[in-house]
Amino acid sequence: MKIVVVSAGLSSPSSTRLLADRLAAATLEHVDAATEVIELRELATEIAQHFVTGFPPARLASALDAVAAAHGLIAVTPVFAGSYSGLFKSFFDLIDKDSLTGKPVLLGATGGTARHSLVTEHALRPLFTHLRALVLPTAVYAASEDWGEEGLAQRIARAGAELARFTTPAAVPGPGAAPGVDTAAAIAPRSLTGAITSVDPADGFVTVPFEQRLAALRVP
């Protein structure tokens, strides 16, 4: 099993990489997995070249392949102008449209002030939902004043446990699930709130009219 960590921090060391490392460590407390860290600042030139030429240089191709093959993904970006960084977005613009389908993704972001704390919800979560990833409920934002605080440590621990849960085959069997079923894969077509994000008729999904749903709620 492999967890891939994508960090879009621009400095070395960076708070973005620090958060990414702590999220990975929290995940590994619950699951036995190998990890690979992709530092996007080291691939900035290759990313630009790919946009211009249409062909990824070797290091970038390796990074894209690693993300596609990962059992789980941790993606962390600094906040620029109230959203994810351009480097972060550019990298995921190059990801094959099907590479993240059903893949558990843990989101993280860092910024100088708590005023940007909703960036994980209004920017990051929609991006990975569009890529049909299985975005985990807990996203972690770390402002400058959060470091060393108990609240940040608790959020990191909870997020790491969630990623471990959804990357472990058959770790969370649902109602009526057969033994050995990879639950994360089984729920991949749905969001964590139960909304269907992609439906294949071959999967046997049946659309129930809204009126019928209401009728089923009526008290006899």
The string of DSSP letters for 48-89 reads HHHHHHSS--HHHHHHHHHHHH-SEEEEEEEEETTEE-HHHH
What pLDDT does residue 137 have? 95
Q: Is the Cβ–Cβ distance between 191 and 136 less than 8 Å?
A: no
What pLDDT does residue 188 have? 41
pTM equals: 0.77
Q: What is the pLDDT along the chain (220 residues), one digit of tens a residue?
A: 999 999 999 988 899 999 999 999 999 999 999 999 999 999 999 999 999 999 999 999 999 999 999 999 999 999 998 899 999 999 999 999 899 999 999 999 999 888 899 999 999 999 999 999 999 999 999 998 999 888 999 999 999 999 999 998 654 444 444 444 344 443 343 334 333 333 444 445 456 676 776 677 766 5
Helix, strand or coil for residue 13? coil
Question: Going by C-beta distance under 8 Å and a sequence separation of 6 or more, which residues neighbour residue 215?
Answer: none
Helix count (H) and strand count (E) of the chain?
A: 9, 7
What pLDDT does residue 149 have? 83
The amino acid that residue 90 corresponds to is S
Cis peptide before 56 (omega within 30 of 0): no
